[in-house]
């Protein structure tokens, strides 16, 4: 399972075709593309925080979903239109209001479904703050 897009190509595609992920500023940055793996860094701003200085659940959900979507795209190319059909997220620890990374691993890349595992952590911590698995429906592709 080899990626067919680079970090730069993913950024260009997301900027053009999915600009709404930048509605709150450029908070999502692809940091890693490898065989079966894509990582993104999320720099939360005021909109993503909660009283007490934690990152909101919807912000972590969005991070998992955007990174998993980028992982699918990186391996099937920019044409296809994948749609999230299921996302299961476990919130494990209260995050600090700081840079957060999501590393997605492709568990399955089938003709019709892709299943992705997402691990969310913060820079100087050993332990995950959240963990998700997501399924994407992949439209029929020309060959």
The residue from 112, 123, 125, 141 that contacts its own copies (CB under 8 A) is: 112
Which of residues 37, 41, 56, 77 is near its own copies by CB under 8 A? 56
CB atoms within 10 A of CB 6: 12
CB 135 within 8 A of CB 85: yes
The reply on whether position 2 binds its own copies by CB under 8 A is no
Find the DSSP H helices in the chain.
Answer: 7-17, 57-76
Q: Cα(87)–Cα(85) distance, rounded to whole angstroms?
A: 7
State the minimum distance, in angstroms, from the CB of residue 93 to its own copies. 7
113 binds its own copies (CB under 8 A): yes
> CA end-to-end span of the chain, whole Å?
17
Residue 128 sits in the site that holds its own copies (CB under 8 A): yes
Summarize as ranges the residues that interact with its own copies (CB under 8 A): 20, 23, 47, 50-51, 56-58, 61-62, 65, 83-93, 107-108, 112-113, 115, 117, 127-128, 131, 133, 135, 137
């Amino acid at each position: 399972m080899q990626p067919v897009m680079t970090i730069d190509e993913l950024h260009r595609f997301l900027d053009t075709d999915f600009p709404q992920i930048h509605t709150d500023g450029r908070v999502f940055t692809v940091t890693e593309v490898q065989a079966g793996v894509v990582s993104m860094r999320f720099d939360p701003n005021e909109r993503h925080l909660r009283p007490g200085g934690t990152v909101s659940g919807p912000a972590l959900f969005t991070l998992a979903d955007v990174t998993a979507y980028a992982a699918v795209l990186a391996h099937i190319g920019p044409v296809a239109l994948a749609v999230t059909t299921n996302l299961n997220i476990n919130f494990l620890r209260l995050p600090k209001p700081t840079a957060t990374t999501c590393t997605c691993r492709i568990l399955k890349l089938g003709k019709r479904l892709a299943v992705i595992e997402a691990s969310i952590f913060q820079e100087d911590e050993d332990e995950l703050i959240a963990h998700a698995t997501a399924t994407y429906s992949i439209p029929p592709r020309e060959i």
